[in-house]
Structure 1
């Protein structure tokens, strides 16, 4: 009796489980973004960067001193020879006064030596003075002349150093950095105010080392504002950093902009686009790549049943934006390019959008 009851119970459980499996709903139809792949001989790469001045100078005082005035702030427009800052000039003014006194003293000595030389010359002509006395007076006059020249040179140097107490710009520009405040003691050559020339601007981007190796001065880029991608201008590579960054393995590339409009202000974020030519290869966005168990795969869509399946591929090149497929995909196959982590094999999908290669 008990055995019969156990058999009936097992059968009931089996039937219930079978019914549950039969009633389990299929995976929902999921809208996906996809594209039909095709080999491409050209590809366009984008690199984020900023607009920076090609020329900027960190102005500093040439003498030691304490800052007593700073006349500009970051963002101020300055004109050539405009005063930027000043240091305490009391010691320099005293140096000028000392040099002026030395010049007056040397000039008095020269006047006295010239008078002695004139008297010795008259006495020599009258045979009342010796040739040695005359030559000694002549030498003293020459020495006094040299001392006047030395004193005047020291005065000019002191006056020039007094001029160093005022920091002035050599060109029209915009202040991009202030590195000293009033009351601070600054050393000779220490940068106090940095001024940039806004008329010559360039785009500065960091490029992966493998791509930077192919760039040469004069290589062309198209540069667009990130706030307004429709505004695009041409640029040429001016400089490629000779060494890659130890952390990011990227090299800094400076691109001179061709007649940039006012919208390309200093500090504006931009995207620099580089078009490269190579052997035809399939290019896919990075969002299409699925990595599991050390394998690289993509979801392909069956055009008849609208179901997806995993396809293992071999990747040649990849970066944060896209990757290149060298094996595993044929031209004309539709590949899912977004939401790859939420799909299941055999799941029915709806092609919500299509993206052309």
Structure 2
């Protein structure tokens, strides 16, 4: 009786389990495609890429004293324009003055010794001519004269050095420029070579911009750019690309580009915000304006979902982001005219997933 009861039960349990698995497989196979919202992108071929940057000096120097001392005065501040020979700052010259006086005393002493040695040499020479003094006395007198002469030269060199050191107590401007930073205050002790201020030349200016790695790779040195002032777009200038960073920044994935202005325009002051655009047709690339919601960030990359209408599946495509504002984004990437991208539900999709797409509207 136990065997007849166990067998039907085992068969029933097996049937139930088999039915459940079959039902699960059928449910999984019948999973409907995920509905998404998509748009067809169109390149803005008539618009070149614009990049924001600032006006910076091509040449700037850190100025400091060559000797140790306490800062007693500073005649300039940030933003002041300086001219060659203008006094910028001074340190306490007391110790340097004492060094000059000491060197002057050493020179006077050396000159007195020279005069004494010279007179002695004349006397010994006269006595030697009369055969009163011997050759050894004459040689000793000449040696003393030469040593005294060398002592005068050494003392004179020490005095010149002390006077030069005294001149280092005053910091002056070497050329026309503007003070961009100040790093020491009155009363502070400054060491030799310590940066006291930074002065930038105003005759040669550059537009410094950070360009995404993709567009930057297409640029070449010497290419012309159009530069406009963001505060007054009617004010424009031209420039040539001088330097491209050899590698992209690890955080922003952009390369720093420096464009030297062809002419000096007073409106393009240091620190002014500008917009630059390449003027060569080869450098002007097509861009795509898409909803910012279509973009997603993964592992330091900007991605979007490209939809294949034939198979109804999506795949991830990396793009270069140039601008993002007010819910819109401007990109340069692996897209073709007429490509369809997903603009809603991008964070819940997976590679190769089947989707059901609806047409969106780009506003």
Q: Is the 8 A contact 1:44 1:276 kept in 2?
A: no
1:226 matched to 2:230? The reply is yes
Query: Which residue matches 2:42?
Result: 37
1:217–1:320 CA distance, 2 compared to 1 (3 A): closer
1:179-214 CA-partner distances (Å, limit 9, x unpaired)? 100011011111112111112111111122343334
Query: Which residue matches 1:323?
Result: 331
Q: What does 1:346-357 align with in structure 2 at a 5 Å threshold?
A: none
1:324–1:100 CA distance, 2 compared to 1 (3 A): closer
1:139 matched to 2:143? The reply is yes
1:115-143 CA-partner distances (Å, limit 9, x unpaired)? 00111111111111111111111011011
CA distance, structure 2, for counterparts of residue 105 and residue 262 of structure 1: 59
Query: Which residue matches 2:244?
Result: 240
| TM-score normalised per structure 1 | 0.73
CA distance, structure 2, for counterparts of residue 169 and residue 126 of structure 1: 65
1:288–1:83 CA distance, 2 compared to 1 (3 A): closer
Query: Which residue matches 1:200?
Result: 204
Q: Is the 8 A contact 1:286 1:320 kept in 2?
A: no
Secondary structure in 2 matching 1:319: strand
1:127-170 CA-partner distances (Å, limit 9, x unpaired)? 11111111111011011101100000000000000010001010
> What is the aligned residue count?
300
**Residue 244 of structure 1, CA deviation:** 3.2
The equivalent position to 2:83 in structure 1, one of 79, 85, 93, is: 79
CA distance, structure 2, for counterparts of residue 281 and residue 241 of structure 1: 20
Query: Which residue matches 2:10?
Result: none
1:287-343 CA-partner distances (Å, limit 9, x unpaired)? 377259x86258x9xxxxxxxxx9968756421333357567549x9x99xxx659x
1:254-299 CA-partner distances (Å, limit 9, x unpaired)? 110011321101110111212575699964114377259x86258x
Q: Is the 8 A contact 1:313 1:325 kept in 2?
A: no
Query: Which residue matches 1:296?
Result: 305
Query: Which residue matches 2:19?
Result: none
Q: Is the 8 A contact 1:282 1:325 kept in 2?
A: no
| TM-score normalised per structure 2 | 0.72
Q: What does 1:206-221 align with in structure 2 at a 5 Å threshold?
A: 206-221=210-225
CA distance, structure 2, for counterparts of residue 177 and residue 51 of structure 1: 16
The equivalent position to 2:273 in structure 1, one of 253, 269, 276, is: 269
1:58 matched to 2:62? The reply is yes
**Residue 245 of structure 1, CA deviation:** 2.5
Q: Is the 8 A contact 2:219 2:283 kept in 1?
A: no
CA distance, structure 1, for counterparts of residue 285 and residue 102 of structure 2: 79
